[in-house]
Amino acid sequence: MVIDFNNLKINNLHSQTEFEKKVILFLEKWLSDSKTVEVQTSGSTGIPKIFEIEKNKMLNSARMTCDFLQLKENDEALLCLPVEYISGKMMLVRSYERKMRLMIAEPSLEPLKDIESEIDFCAMTPLQVENSLDKLHLVRNLIIGGASVSENLKKRISNLSTNVFETYGMSETLSHIALKQLTPKSEDYFTAFENVTISTDERGCLKIFAPNLNDEILQTNDLVDIKNGNQFKFLGRIDHVINSGGAKIFPEELEALVKKEISNEVVFLGIEDESLGQKLVLVIEGEESDQLVQKISHVQFTKKFHKPKKIMFIDQILRTPNGKVNRLELKKLINNNL
């Protein structure tokens, strides 16, 4: 199904799949007299919740992204994300705001599988990007969200001419409030959009004030390093910090380091330990391999206590429905297997 937002006639849209039915249902709600729509959080850091968001604020968010990427009327876009979450909903709103032509593809790990023509704009998760490398040249502007982009994936897309950006945001910020370019230029810091003010609290966690998107100052649990007032580097979530023998360990930093050496998905966890408080455990997705363990032993960890006390292999790392690693459930699973 292709939706031409330059000539949108909702009654002419006919769904052939359950996903297309969900898309049309959202558009009907979007075009209704209601000033709000429902959005569901991913549940990656807690219990999923549903809340109401003002349509005008979603339009503000759409304009910020479209203006930044210089998207225009009649551009070709692709929706390949679930519409239950803000990521999928905002692809529809951006297409509506900019009057683009939107192709609807069932969310899958290979969203570009049946795409043969060029696309001006698309949003994907890192897993979708990994499974679309042979066709990414067809996409002019790509934003990646839902999870951090691994060092291995950055290497694999480094030669692309496609404008690729990693996003920073959450449901409460109506998708992203900052972008970090990965190709053709490579950046270390996210740059916040115009009219977005960033700061940190006493813990070093990011605070966001984006009045065009949310009336409140949003307090995150994301530890960051801010420079130039509007740029920041993500260090890790404070609720993921592992306290091992009195030392604070940021798992996201270690994961990025390990992923420079191996392509497998990896997660560092702090498992309860009587003497250390928390024991550092590395979970690797895939079949057990002495070769991988050997590669891990050669990783140049900056501190001795960054080296995992135990390495475990798992067939599939647990994820939330929108593809994020579910650390809470994974930790429970690993605890039960130790």
Over residues 264-291, the mean pLDDT reads: 92
Quick check: 60 and 213 in contact, CB under 8 A? yes
What pLDDT score does 42 carry?
A: 62
| 277-285/190-192 β-pairing | unpaired
DSSP per-residue letters across 196-250? -EEEE-TTSEEEEE-TTT-SSPEEEEEEEEEETTTEEEEEEEGGG-EEETTEEE-
Question: Which tens digit of pLDDT belongs to each residue from 238-277?
Answer: 988 999 988 889 999 899 899 888 888 899 999 998 888 9
Residue 210 pLDDT exceeds 80: yes
* Element spanning 6, H or E: none
What pLDDT score does 102 carry?
A: 97
CA-nearest of 81, 214, 73, 68 to 141 is 68
Question: Which tens digit of pLDDT belongs to each residue from 44-99?
Answer: 555 667 888 999 999 999 999 999 999 999 999 999 999 988 999 999 999 999 99
Over residues 18-38, the mean pLDDT reads: 95
What pLDDT score does 323 carry?
A: 67
Range in 9-18, 104-113, 322-331 the model is least confident about: 322-331
Judge if pTM exceeds 0.95.
no
What pLDDT score does 48 carry?
A: 66
CATH H-level, domain 241-337: superfamily:
ANL, C-terminal domain (3.30.300.30)
What pLDDT score does 260 carry?
A: 86
What pLDDT score does 43 carry?
A: 56
Amino acid of residue 297: S
What pLDDT score does 17 carry?
A: 94
What pLDDT score does 107 carry?
A: 94
Give the CA distances from residue 238 to residues 90, 119, 134, 203, in Å, rounded to whole numbers and listed in that order: 28, 38, 36, 9
Over residues 187-205, the mean pLDDT reads: 95
Residue-averaged pLDDT of the chain: 91
What pLDDT score does 175 carry?
A: 87
Find the distance separating the first CA and the last CA of the chain, reported in whole Å. 48
Residue 286 corresponds to which tokens in the numbers above? 């895939």
Question: Which tens digit of pLDDT belongs to each residue from 88-142?
Answer: 999 999 999 999 999 999 999 999 999 999 999 999 999 899 999 999 999 999 9
Quick check: 197 and 172 in contact, CB under 8 A? no
Give the residue extent of every domain in the chain: 2-237, 241-337
Which residues on neighbouring strands pair with residue 205, listed in sequence order? 223
Domain 2-237 has CATH 2.170.190.11: no
Tell me the chain's radius of gyration from C-alpha atoms: 21
What pLDDT score does 187 carry?
A: 94
Residue 332 corresponds to which tokens in the numbers above? 């429970």
Quick check: 131 and 110 in contact, CB under 8 A? yes
Over residues 151-155, the mean pLDDT reads: 85
